[in-house]
Structure 1
Amino acid sequence: MNRRTALTALFAGASAPLLAACSSGITSLDGDGSGGDTGSSSGGLTIGTANFTENQILGYLYAGVLKAAGIKTTVKPNLGSREIIVPALKGGDIDLLPEYQGSLLLYLDKNAKDTEAGAMQNALAAVLPASLEVLPYAIAEDRDSFAVTRETAEKYGLKTLADLTKANGKLVFGAAAEMQKRVVGVVGLKDVYGVEFKEFKALDSSGPLVKGALKKGDVDVANVFTTDVDVAANKWVVLEDPKSLVPAQHIVPLIAARKADGKVRKALARLGNVLTTSELTELNRLVDQDKKDPDRVADAWLKKNGLVSA
């Protein structure tokens, strides 16, 4: 499904309900997650996901634990980038989406300086509109990273992002289109490290386009996720980030506050306490390399870990 088709399906007949509630500012997974219960999930939840494998898997994991808690769910996968799905959540066309702390914070506040998970959770609660809420963040984390082939690393002496300045004006950067305007992207690489690229190629987020381009040499630097198993498989060099351009990126549920009742909070907190970074990486491998369906991969993992009935 392409982005246009996905959006047409998403917004067709949308009721755009009014939203009213406030964010609780939960900062950890401690406790049962039932504080600040002002919403109701009785009418069910619609979960939206971004247009890359991991986010789709997370959407189905969310759906599985919520269904096990007796909540009706619908998953609308592959809707597009954050610039598309967060406004859809604000508008009431979806109710819940899997997010990443640091990237979400910088999307909401481009001048945000926090990089530690707890501090970012508080910062998110402060900048989100009253209609939205972040629930406790998960153990699992997936950061953006910038990778080069071993040959490119050796040619230019690249170990860190700062080293990219040695090749200013010579390298082609490949990433999703929105990375051209993001702090964790072209903007931050220039402002924080002084990096300037020969060209930017709009491809995808740690997907087949950007990874294929890196393999072929069509791009020299690629934006890939730290849970992407192809990084190790291809022996790519992930450049170190000594100035902490990329903040912590724990998985965090972003939800319409009107839907954030006790059952939802407990179900998602339980998932977050169990899902680790290594297990999320393995789920990505099953879909990307073994070509399994993300909904089935999510369901099998939930059953294996006792989060839904076998």
Structure 2
Amino acid sequence: MNRRTVLTTLLAGASAPLLAACSSGITSLKGDGVGGDSGSSSGGLTIGTANFTENQILGYLYAGVLNAAGVKTTVKPNLGSREIVVPALRSGDIDLLPEYQGSLLLYLDKKATETEAGAMQNALATVLPNGLEVLPYAAAEDRDTFAVTRETADHYGLKTLADLRKVNGKLVFGAAAEMKKRVVGLVGLKEQYGVEFKEFKALDSSGPLVKGALKKGDIDVANVFTTDVDTAENGWVLLQDPKHLIPAQHIVPLIAARKADSKVRKALARLGNTLTTAHLTELNRLVDKEKQDPDRVAEAWLKKQKLD
């Protein structure tokens, strides 16, 4: 999953909408431009994705439901980390991207303390840059987590992130480069748990580099996502998070408000109400394990769910 650089100029002009619970339990925002039809998708949308499998799949899922609703789309996959795709959205290079609630909130506000999905959705609306909106979040969720091998867990008695403190300076941590400066990363692990590592290796998050390094023993702790099928297959231990460093990570569309008309909102809401964490895990498996193309995987799933 990734998935927090503070943008100190983002607070001006933001409005704080109220929360209303949908019958499905998915939160909807009501506020300026949210839930209305102030935008227009008549010129089409460009969807960007981050540089990992799941986000690419989500980008093609977005494209599929929007195309089915009569909205022309272009997908620009694998653009890079949040530090690249969010500025691309702000500049107008892209119009829509799949995001993750907790990671996005902490990217925009390093001091945010909300961890529950509804509270985070409301908090997001108060810190978003002018011109951007978060639409209702999906049932599907994919959290960051920190994994060790069973052998490492047994050797050091590791069950929680707090346990890492007793082996300070002994273990090597592997993740995407940006995790070195993120709250859900080295910063938060040190501030909340007092954990320090012998070395940080810049690899990827829940990707082939970090998982390969964990298998080989080149790193001891890896950042992986909860929808990653390799965790169960390899018997890795996901360290528990008693202090709730890692917030809820429901999938949420982040969109340029000028494009968010009712056609777009309804299409993405249908997808969000249908897509579950189990679905997302299986879609990841088809791409990562079966080596299927993410656009084909997305297309087949949408057809099966009658969303095409």
Q: Which position in structure 1 is the counterpart of 2:177? A: 177
CA contact (8 A) 1:180 1:186 kept: yes
- Tell me if structure 1 keeps the 8 A contact 2:19–2:118: no
Structure 1 residues 222-247: Cα deviation after superposition (integer angstroms, max 9, x where no partner): 00000000000000000000000000
Partner residue, 2:257: 257
Match of 1:48 in 2: 48
Q: Give the Å deviation of 1:36.
A: 2.6
Partner amino acid for 1:60?
Y
TM-score by length of 2: 0.91
Query: Partners in 2 of 1:264 and 1:134 — Cα distance?
Result: 12
1:95 and 1:21 mapped to 2: Cα distance?
19
1:112 and 2:97 matched = no
Which residue is 2:37 aligned to?
37
Distance 1:154 1:142, change over 3 A: same
Verify the 8 A CA contact 2:16 2:122 in the aligned structure 1: no
% identical aligned pairs:
81
Q: Counterpart in 2 of 1:10? A: none
> How far 1:265 sits from its partner (Å)?
0.3
Task: Give the aligned residue type for 2:118.
Answer: G
Cα deviation 1:230-280 (Å, max 9, x = unaligned)? 000000000000000000000000000000000000000000000000010
In the alignment, structure 1 residue 307 sits paired with structure 2 residue 290:
no
Contact kept? 2:14, 2:129, Cα under 8 Å: no
Distance in 1 (alpha carbons) for counterparts of 2:14 and 2:240: 41
Q: What secondary structure sits across from 2:78 in the alignment?
A: coil
Q: Is the 8 A contact 2:161 2:241 kept in 1?
A: yes
Q: Which amino acid aligns with 1:98?
A: P
Are 1:131 and 2:158 matched, yes or no?
A: no
TM superposition shift of 1:66: 0.1
1:80-159 to 2 correspondences below 5 Å: 80-159=80-159
Please report how far the alpha carbon of residue 151 of structure 1 lies from its aligned counterpart in structure 2 after TM superposition.
Answer: 0.4
Query: Is the Cα–Cα contact under 8 Å of residues 21 and 38 in structure 1 kept in the other structure?
Result: no
Where 2:146 maps in the other structure, the secondary structure is strand
Instruction: Look up the equivalent residue of 1:291 and give its one-letter code.
Output: K
Higher strand share: 2
Conserved 8 A contact 1:27-1:118: no
> What CA distance in whole angstroms lies between the structure 1 residues aligned with 2:175 and 2:19?
32
CA distance in 2 between counterparts of 1:94 and 1:28 reads 29
Letter in 2 for 1:217: G
59-68 or 31-40, which moves further after superposition?
31-40
Superposed counterparts of 1:214-229, under 5 Å: 214-229=214-229
Change in CA separation of 1:88 and 1:71 when aligned onto 2, cut-off 3 Å: same
Aligned equivalents of 1:261, 1:182: Cα separation in 2: 33
Unaligned segments of structure 2, at least 5 residues: 1-12, 29-33
Q: In structure 2, how many angstroms separate the alpha carbons of the residues matched to 1:66 and 1:169?
A: 49
Measure the CA separation in 2 of the matches of 1:220 and 1:265: 43
Secondary structure of 2:147's partner? strand
Aligned counterpart, 1:235: 235
Are residues 28 and 224 of structure 1, via their aligned partners in 2, closer, same or farther at CA, if it must alter by over 3 Å? farther
Pairwise CA distance, 1:37: 2.1
Aligned residue runs from structure 1 range 182-197, under 5 A = 182-197=182-197
**Gaps (5+ residues) in structure 1?**
1-19
Q: Is contact 2:14–2:128 with CA below 8 Å preserved after alignment?
A: no
CA 1:95–1:101: 2 relative to 1, 3 Å: same
Partners of 2:185 and 2:199 lie apart in 1 by: 13
Q: How far, CA to CA, are the matches of 1:41 and 1:66 in structure 2?
A: 10
Query: Structure 1 residues 199-208 or 29-38, which shifts more?
Result: 29-38
Tell me how many residue pairs correspond in the alignment: 289
**Equivalent residues of 2:172, 2:220 under 8 A apart:** yes
Residue 21 (structure 1) shift: 10
Counterpart of 1:129, as a letter, is P
Query: RMSD between aligned alpha carbons?
Result: 1.8
Q: How do 1:8-19 residues align onto structure 2 when only pairs under 5 Å count?
A: none
Aligned mates of 2:39, 2:294 — CA distance in 1: 29
